Amino acid sequence: MFLQPATQPVSHRFETLEIFFTPPDITSRRLGFVSPFANDYISMLSSLPHLKKLALPTHPPCHLLPDALIATPTSYICPELAELCLYESSESVSWDTVLAVVKSRTDPDIGGVSLRELTVPRYVRSDDKVVGLSAYVRVKAPA
């Protein structure tokens, strides 16, 4: 018996996803090369339309994912996403991108569920101990 490839993307009912580990970085911004793993993550998120909570590291290749989460009238992955956590690192995503994600996901003209919470934890070393700091933002949709 042969398995036939699916003609439609598979959709799962997962509501929470937290990515802790990413493949070794093969991304070089200087050379303009993007890791193929980033596209795998974008494809994976595209197949999870019911995802409500997402936590991502912001080191390569996951640093490219917040750009993919910017909702537009023609591209809207994870339309039910209500909580987003971006673990900050030295290769952190830009605040302009974070703000673009928040603005696009609170725009009533685009549709879907509005983003309600954004968390950006940052880990700082102090006296050989890791101290966790967290920037937590409650997102309010425009009136």
* Strands across the sheet containing 83-87: 16-18, 53-57, 83-87, 117-126, 129-138
The pair of three-digit structure tokens given for residue 24, joined into one six-digit string: 């070794």
Mean pLDDT in consecutive groups of 10 residues from the start of the chain, 143 residues: 43 60 41 53 80 77 74 85 76 75 82 78 62 60 54
Q: What are phi and psi of 87, to 5 degrees?
A: -75, 115
Contact present, 69 and 78 (Cβ < 8 Å) = yes
CA 63 to centroid of chain Cα atoms: 8
Q: What is the pLDDT of residue 22?
A: 46
What whole-number distance in Å separates Cα of residue 141 and Cα of residue 32? 36
Q: What is the DSSP letter of 14?
A: -
Q: What pTM does this model have?
A: 0.65
- Distances in Å between the Cα of 95 and the Cα atoms of 56, 92, 108 are 15, 9, 22
What whole-number distance in Å separates Cα of residue 134 and Cα of residue 43? 29
